Amino acid sequence: MLYTQDRTQQRQFLANAWQKFLDKKPLDPLEDQLTQVIKMHPEYHAYINNIESDYFPEQGEVNPFLHINLHLSLREQLSINQPAGIQDYYQKIINQLKDLHEAEHKMMDCIAEMIFSSQKNNIPMDHQAYIRCLEKQSHYTIYKN
């Protein structure tokens, strides 16, 4: 049920998976992936059941549901190496940061930027801009240290 356009259904699926995890019930593979990401973000645990809440980035708020789904999207891309070469960028960023979670966040920034630009300008997602962002992130981390 995670792959739906209905925000409430998506959030309910996530909340249900988290509750199953807390209740020590068996999880299907997607629920397991979700709960692994949620465990990495204790700052979101209190929000998981607030499926009707709105979050406003312009007010400094982070949408925990979007954040968790960006992790999943990135992991899916990495699992199939699509776009081609994404695994190489991931390795470069990991090698520099020495932190898998932070590397995911750097790459998720690129996904979010691509989505935001597409929605703001009412245009298709620019996958080449996404690759350029990943390239920039992989070089930025090299020179940052």
Domain boundaries, the chain: 1-57, 81-145
Q: What is the pLDDT along the chain (145 residues), one digit of tens a residue?
A: 456 778 999 999 999 999 999 999 999 999 999 999 999 999 999 999 999 999 988 888 889 999 999 999 999 999 999 999 999 999 999 999 999 999 999 999 999 999 999 999 999 999 999 999 999 998 864 444 4
pTM higher than 0.85 for the full model?
A: yes
| Measured CA distances, 114 to 28, 36, 44, 66, 70 (Å) | 30, 25, 24, 14, 12
User: Side chain identity at 31, as an amino acid letter?
Assistant: E
CA–CA–CA angle 17, 18, 20 (5° rounding): 65
